[in-house]
Amino acid sequence: MKKLFFAITAIALSAVTAQAQTTSFGLKGGITSANVKEKFGGMSLSYSSKIGFYAGAFADIGVSENFGVQPELFYSSLGAKQKGTDGGPDASLDFGYINLPILAKYNHSGFSAFLGPQIGYLVSAKSKSGGESEDIKDQIKSTDFSGVIGAGYTLTNGFGFDARYQIGFSNISKDDGDNNGSVKNSAFMIGIHYRFNSSK
């Protein structure tokens, strides 16, 4: 699946770049409000959102006056929190991902709306409780497939902001699949960006 995604992405970007009217590059960063949706044995477990951050770069490839493609590469911190019960300690799941979304984008007068698929590569995974931290990377799948939808605005000087929602499509747990369970990432992200001058 991962190899197929990268192959399709490379072909699509090559075709789009060949038809591009303008191409610009930029930097981006902001905060994440992340959570996980866990189902096990027909039951859904509840968690609280965890605040983190993201930072990276993007390319804005204009195909026509109003439409374009925006590939991105950035790091994001995901996970969730859980309040301790019966006097127990609070706990959290802390995930770090390198993400590659490929977004179809509509632009008009500085405003933009976008959506597309994303693949994330796991770089760290920890479980924390009562001041203790445990590395659980061997329990989490190395890739995460998700979808992205969002909107933003860019000023004429290149600065702008955007907000997006990331919803996980794939089960990231290596263990729950055999028990008809699943753990899926989700996150709301809001941040700023700077786009450098466009070029042909």
134: Cβ contacts below 8 Å, ≥ 6 apart = 126, 127, 128
User: Total structural domains in the chain?
Assistant: 1
Mean pLDDT, the chain, rounded, equals 86
| Secondary structure (3-state) at 19 | coil
pTM: 0.85
Q: Mind listing the pLDDT tens digit for each residue in 2-18?
A: 555 555 555 455 545 55
In a domain, 17, yes or no: no
Average pLDDT over every residue of 76-98: 85
Q: Mind listing the pLDDT tens digit for each residue in 166-182?
A: 999 999 998 755 566 78
Range of the domain at 115: 29-195
CATH of the domain at 40: 2.40.160.20
Distances (CA, A) of 17 to 5, 66, 88, 118: 18, 16, 55, 19
In a domain, 52, yes or no: yes
Q: Mind listing the pLDDT tens digit for each residue in 100-132?
A: 999 999 999 999 999 999 999 999 999 998 778
